[in-house]
Amino acid sequence: MNFGRFFRSTVGIGLTAAFLVALPFIAATGGQAWVRILDFAILYVFLALGLNIVVGLAGLLDLGYIAFYAVGAYTWALLASPHFGLHWPIWAILPIAAGLACFAGVLLGSPTLKLRGDYLAIVTLGFGEIVRIFLNNLNAPINVTNGPQGITLIDPVSFGAFKFSGTTQIFGVALSGPQKYYFLLVALAILVIIINIRLQNSRIGRAWQAIREDEIAAKAIGINTRNLKLLAFAMGASFGGVAGGIFSAMQGFVSPESFSLLESIMILAMVVLGGMGHIPGVILGAVLLTVLPEVLRYGVGPLQMAVFGKMLVDPESLRMLVFGLALVLVMRFKPAGLWPSPERQRELQETGK
Amino acid sequence: MDIFLQQIINGLVQGSIYALVALGYTMVYGIMGLINFAHGEVVMIGTLVTITVAGSLIKAGMPVAVAGLAGLMAAVLVCMALGWALERVAYRPLRNAPRLTPLITAIGMSIVLQNLAMMIWGRNYMTFPSLLPKVDFEFAGANFTMIQVIIVLVSAATMGGLLLLVYRTKLGMAMRATAQNPAVASLMGVNINRVIAAAFVIGSALGALAGVMVGTYYEIAHYQMGFMLGLKAFTAAVLGGIGNLAGAMLGGILLGIIEALGAGYIGDLTGGFLGSHYQDIFAFVVLIVVLMFKPSGLFGEKTGDRA
């Protein structure tokens, strides 16, 4: 082994780790709200990487990904809240959430195997809407989801007596609730990143990429396209389910509003804007698209006051307007995403596109 | 039986509106393979422009008919300009980009237009001025209004006109040629840029008309109304086989009728378990079922397996 390279990569990993550990404490100086934003950024990294398996690796355009997130979130909410009086532990709920989401993924995947490109997109979109409409209306005749009001007082994540809500002292360092969730989420995100990297270079990952590039050719060389497409749906969905469970516990509250089509679109935008199929790009896209709207939220109001001396336009709509424009501009000038994989960049240059 | 006929009529009206909007999606998709997610917002802007123009003209003492026509004209012109600008500014630079890139651009433009509309017209529901006299008819136990009759007739006439344009004029021939193969069409002297711009402009004009109809029918408008309407219309276009004009028309009307019948009968069908608030589910369930058996829509051409 080349010692220099080993040394450099060790230093790189060390610096990244130090940065990741320091980040929640740096963010906390701006208030716990920023730590919470950080938590969401990592949760979205997790979700975007899950969707990246489906869209980026296997090339299946999924516009209903949020449905699996919703399945996970409601699984946690129903099994750990006063709504049904159940308070199951995390190691029972998370596998159930992942399993149910996985089942939903196969359920969506199996009738859509024959569909291509945009037809698949609209069907997945419809599936997402169906799930949301059911969540909204399953409060009668039997009250399962409590309808539009959603479910409140959901248990936080806890391991035995160690709860993730409230502040605790660990080795003399005070850790707030969001900071604890941060470390849990980072651990989960690292796990997903490792799974993604391992998948990408595995037999399965290469088969997915073959299907993405040319399904007929993939079939011709003996790839079982049916099973592999289902596997992509199932895997992406399980990640969505786990993320949903953590979301539910972190918020303490879920309602159908959190699972609108716009959310699915946002996650897809993260994957595409970052650089489809390229793990660092997807991470960048997820962090940017979570943090940018928040920065704008705190930025556009005061900025208007400073420049014009009064509020000219509603800051909330100005924020979304800038966000929409940012999407358009990035796609205009970086059509393959902000940080595309080197191979993809080369392909685009070769074809002169 | 009365409910059945009544729901068929309601569905037909809603379906004609879906069909007009669906045409905008399907024309653009047929020619350049792009889902123009911002089309629903174009429809919304058409409705809101009519409210402003017709409303202020009526307030200024103009006869309702004149004000209504002026509102409609204004909406059509604004939407045509908007459609043209969308294509020119947002989509044209991306014509050779990876497949998902224009999709994200379309979503971005949709967010931009929605928030622009909110800045201009505010976040409250607005009442649409009543432009048509309220006359009721009765037929075989079902009631319908003058407005419903006019909506169905006007959309039928418009769709007829569109078919004539596409199948009987030079521009229409150029459009069909571009849809089949843009490269070869341009070798035959078709100006691709003009054809694509025309598809956007015509689609937007149809959208504006649909927007005015929605406003007249429900008498209410909102900056977020374009989203669900666009989604349903797009579903209709896919149901009929996207890229196919007749498919979009039939898909729209079919979707409207299925929704209306579904909302009317779902309670009876499920023994009261599911109520009419599940109406929105029908569009999507029907879509999934149809695509399971006909993967390219009801009237779509069989897309061969091409590399």
Residue pLDDT, tens place only, A286-295? 999 888 888 8
Nearest residue of B to residue A110 by CA position? B292
State whether residue A283 sits within 8 Å of chain B by CB.
no
Contacts by B143-149, CB closer than 8 A, 24 or more apart? B143/B6, B144/B9, B147/B216, B147/B217, B148/B9, B148/B10, B148/B13, B148/B217
Length of chain B in terms of residues written: 307
Residues B94, A332: C-beta atoms closer than 8 Å: yes
How confident is the model over B193-219, as a mean pLDDT? 94
Position A153 pLDDT exceeds 90:
no
Chain B nearest C-alpha distance from A325 (Å): 6
Quote the pLDDT of residue A352: 45
Residues A123, B287: C-beta atoms closer than 8 Å: yes
From chain A, pick out residues whose CB is under 8 angstroms from the CB of B119.
Answer: 313-314, 317-318, 321
Name the one residue in this structure whose structure tokens are 């291509």.
Answer: A116
Position B295 pLDDT exceeds 90:
no
Quote the pLDDT of residue A12: 81
Confidence of residue B306 (pLDDT cuts 50, 70, 90): very low
Name the one residue in this structure whose structure tokens are 């409705």.
Answer: B47
Residue B1 CA, chain-centre distance (Å), reads: 30
Residues B295, A115: C-beta atoms closer than 8 Å: yes
CB B12 within 8 A of CB B217: no
Quote the pLDDT of residue B273: 64
Quote the pLDDT of residue A348: 62
Position B307 pLDDT exceeds 50:
no
pLDDT: which is higher, A312 or A113:
A113
Q: Nearest Cα to B177, choosing from B199, B162, B195, B202? A: B195
The ipTM estimated for the assembled molecules is 0.86
Position A106 pLDDT exceeds 90:
yes
Give the contacts of A77 (CB within 8 A, at least 6 positions apart).
Answer: A83, A151, A154, A248, A254
Confidence of residue B20 (pLDDT cuts 50, 70, 90): very high
From chain B, pick out residues whose CB is under 8 angstroms from the CB of A125.
Answer: 231
Report which listed range, A13-22, A126-135, A170-179, A236-245, is most confident.
A236-245
Q: How far apart are CA A331 and CA B150, in angstroms?
A: 42
CA angle (A255, A261, A267) in 5-degree steps: 100
Residue pLDDT, tens place only, A180-228? 888 889 998 999 899 888 988 899 999 999 998 888 899 999 999 999 9
State whether residue A77 sits within 8 Å of chain B by CB.
no
Confidence of residue B105 (pLDDT cuts 50, 70, 90): very high
pLDDT: which is higher, B108 or A30:
B108
Q: What is the DSSP letter of A129?
A: H
Q: From the list A115, A125, A335, which residue is nearest B94 (CB)?
A: A335
Quote the pLDDT of residue B248: 92
State whether residue A335 sits within 8 Å of chain B by CB.
yes
CB B280 within 8 A of CB B272: no
Position B228 pLDDT exceeds 80:
yes
State whether residue A311 sits within 8 Å of chain B by CB.
no
How confident is the model over A242-267, as a mean pLDDT? 89
Share of chain B above pLDDT 90, in %: 51
**What pTM was estimated for this model as a whole?**
0.86
Quote the pLDDT of residue A201: 85
Share of chain A above pLDDT 70, in %: 93
Q: What is the mean pLDDT of chain A?
A: 85
State whether residue A313 sits within 8 Å of chain B by CB.
yes
Which residues, in sequence order, are bridge partners of residue A87? A80
From chain B, pick out residues whose CB is under 8 angstroms from the CB of A216.
Answer: 305, 307
Position A16 pLDDT exceeds 60:
yes
Position B23 pLDDT exceeds 60:
yes
From chain A, pick out residues whose CB is under 8 angstroms from the CB of B295.
Answer: 114-116, 119
Q: How far apart are CA A59 and CA A40, in angstroms?
A: 26
Residue pLDDT, tens place only, B26-70? 999 988 888 898 999 999 999 999 999 999 999 888 888 899 999
Position A262 pLDDT exceeds 70:
yes
Q: What is the mean pLDDT of chain B?
A: 88
**Helix H or strand E segment including B142:** strand B142-145
Strands (E), A83-195: 86-87, 158-159, 162-163, 168-170, 173-175
Confidence of residue B1 (pLDDT cuts 50, 70, 90): low
CB B292 within 8 A of CB A111: yes
Quote the pLDDT of residue B11: 92
Residue pLDDT, tens place only, B135-175? 888 777 778 888 899 999 999 999 999 999 999 999 999 99
Position A353 pLDDT exceeds 60:
no
Which amino acid makes up residue B268? D
Confidence of residue B272 (pLDDT cuts 50, 70, 90): low
Residue pLDDT, tens place only, A70-96? 999 999 999 988 888 788 888 888 899
Position B305 pLDDT exceeds 60:
no
Give the contacts of B254 (CB within 8 A, at least 6 positions apart).
Answer: B15, B236, B239, B240, B298
* Rounded (10°) CA dihedral B27, B31, B37, B38: -70
Nearest residue of B to residue A212 by CA position? B307
pLDDT: which is higher, B228 or B42:
B42
Quote the pLDDT of residue B274: 67
Share of chain B above pLDDT 70, in %: 94
